[in-house]
């Protein structure tokens, strides 16, 4: 199928605006015409995931980003003109955004629909063909996508691949023109290694332990309520969820009191609550419980916020109660591993310098959170930390603008998409220069070198040297 898509891409040439928009429209129609089927498939995959949760996290957030991309295609496709004045004497220069060819997308299980549709829409906007490998963990969603795709696309436009980890490994080794992956840093490293065999460029959307700093001047009650609520989105199985919270030491007890009360109010029942998202499978259920047990055994204070009379965790439903963990130290796995579940760790800090040092001692996260005023302390926090994005006073606020780039840095990712960043990720910016001058501008670089060329080269070096010296002398 890869070769078929590539042959079709070469034969047809770069598509115009109308074709790109049509492909995006058919992609969205595939999703919107079959919303109920996708919601049901995802509920089956997770065990418990409500219709409202799937609509809110998979579809509602997706539509504005896709619409923004679609509406800007014509603008982004325009060539950038260089050296405009030189056109008057016969030198023409421009930079053309060109499609790469065939883009491979490896999707995750936590948002199995949105996180393949968004990169596919960006790849279509840039003029590419697309092959998608769906996650085998959410197999019902994958099979539905595989079955529906031929109703909306020819195979040489969009192809959906299903199968296990062996298929994913083979997919990652294909000689795509670009490979886009969303998942864990450990698997991302394997994907990058596989792609390197064919020198395939990659975009890696990974994760990490997202820190939250509650500022000394923050409203503790409001901050604790919002942070606790954010931790529970999709059962905590979100790459931008808050992972650990740094609170001024004097406010830790007050913060935990509000967080506990908020979680209790949110979930008066859990076992029979259709809005309480399950762990996606037993492996993730056991992994999260293992992090909690390890922390408890090593001396952490673990508080389970479970409704009265309910025995949690519950293996049959794969539900883990909201859990607050304190007194975490570096010996515990929970201090290093991304939790990806309904667990929040809370620790005190004595000064903002200490909090920032704590964050900088770890790999750069996908998002760094700040709860408090947008004052000098906040600006200092932004300047001194490194993360894919920064959100202040709200969950995933860095994703609110539809045109904002989304991506990590360091261990949390490589490259970005959403908005023009997505168009750029799947484009090659090709410089095209033509000369109608009666002489060659660059021919003098070939020997034999005439006296005029030698004089010119010496003069240019001397001029650059003097300019640099003058700049340095002013400091």
Task: Catalogue the active-site residues.
Answer: 205, 239
Alpha-carbon span 235 to 288, nearest angstrom: 11
327: left (phi over 0), alpha (psi -120 to 50) or beta: left
Cα separation, 1 vs 158, in Å, equals 10
Q: How far apart are CA 109 and CA 113, in angstroms?
A: 9
Query: 416 near 405, Cβ under 8 Å?
Result: yes
CB-based burial label for 177 (10 Å; 0-12, 13-18, 19+): buried
**CA 137 and chain centroid, separation:** 19
Give me the count of residues in the chain: 475
Write out the two tokens for 85.
């004045």
Strand runs (DSSP E) across 312-441, as ranges? Answer: 323-326, 343-349, 367-371, 389-392, 413-414, 427-435
The structure tokens 């996180």 sit at: 115
Q: CB under 8 Å to 182, separation ≥6 — which residues?
A: 106, 107, 108, 115, 119, 205, 206, 239
Phi then psi dihedrals of residue 115, to 5 deg: -85, 10
- For residue 142, with 0-12 CB atoms within 10 Å meaning exposed, 13-18 middle and 19 or more buried, which class applies? buried
Q: What share of the chain is helix, strand, coil (3-state, %, to 5)?
A: 50, 15, 35
Strand pairing class (244-248; 211-214) = parallel
By the 8 A CB rule, do 61 and 396 touch? no
Distance CA 336, CA 333 (A): 5
């Amino acid at each position: 199928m890869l070769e078929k898509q590539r042959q079709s891409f070469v034969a047809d040439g770069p598509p115009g605006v109308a074709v790109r928009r049509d492909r995006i429209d058919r992609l969205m129609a595939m999703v919107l015409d079959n919303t109920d089927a996708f919601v049901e498939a995802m509920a089956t995959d997770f065990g418990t995931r409500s219709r409202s949760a799937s609509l809110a996290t998979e579809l509602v957030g997706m539509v504005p980003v896709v619409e923004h991309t679609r509406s800007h295609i014509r603008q982004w496709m325009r060539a950038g003109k260089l050296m405009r004045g030189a056109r008057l004497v016969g030198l023409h220069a421009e930079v053309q955004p060109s499609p790469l060819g065939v883009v491979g997308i490896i999707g995750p299980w936590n948002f199995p629909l949105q996180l393949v549709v968004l990169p596919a829409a960006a790849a279509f906007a840039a003029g590419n063909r697309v092959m998608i490998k769906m996650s085998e963990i959410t197999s019902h969603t994958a099979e539905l996508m595989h079955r529906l795709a031929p109703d909306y696309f020819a195979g040489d436009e969009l192809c959906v691949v299903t199968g296990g980890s062996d298929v994913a490994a083979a997919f990652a080794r294909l000689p795509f023109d670009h490979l886009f992956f969303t998942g864990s840093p450990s698997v991302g490293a394997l994907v990058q290694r596989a792609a390197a065999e064919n020198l395939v460029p990659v975009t890696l959307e990974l994760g990490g332990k997202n820190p939250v700093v509650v500022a000394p001047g923050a409203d503790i009650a409001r901050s604790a309520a919002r942070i606790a609520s954010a931790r529970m989105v999709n059962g905590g199985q979100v790459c931008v969820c808050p992972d650990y919270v740094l609170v001024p030491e004097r406010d830790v007890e007050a913060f935990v009191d509000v967080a506990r009360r908020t979680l209790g109010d949110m979930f008066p029942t859990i076992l029979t609550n259709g809005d309480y998202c399950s762990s996606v499978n037993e492996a993730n259920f056991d992994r999260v419980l293992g992090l909690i047990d390890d922390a408890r055994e090593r001396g952490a204070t673990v508080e389970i916020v479970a409704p009265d009379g309910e025995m949690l965790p519950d293996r049959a439903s794969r539900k883990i109660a909201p859990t607050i963990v304190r007194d975490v130290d570096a010996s515990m796995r929970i201090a290093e591993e991304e939790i990806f579940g309904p667990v929040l760790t809370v620790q005190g800090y004595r000064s903002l310098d200490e909090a920032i040092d704590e964050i900088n001692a770890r790999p750069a996260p996908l998002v760094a959170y700040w709860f408090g005023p947008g004052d000098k302390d906040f600006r200092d926090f932004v300047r001194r930390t490194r993360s894919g994005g920064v959100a202040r006073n709200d969950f995933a606020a860095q994703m609110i603008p539809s045109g904002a780039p989304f991506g990590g840095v360091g261990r949390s990712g490589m490259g970005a998409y959403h908005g023009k960043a997505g168009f750029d990720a799947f484009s090659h910016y090709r410089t095209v220069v033509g000369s109608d001058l009666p002489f060659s501008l660059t021919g003098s670089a070939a020997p034999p070198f005439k006296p005029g060329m030698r004089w010119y080269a010496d003069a240019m070096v001397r001029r650059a040297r003097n300019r640099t010296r003058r700049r340095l002398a002013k400091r």
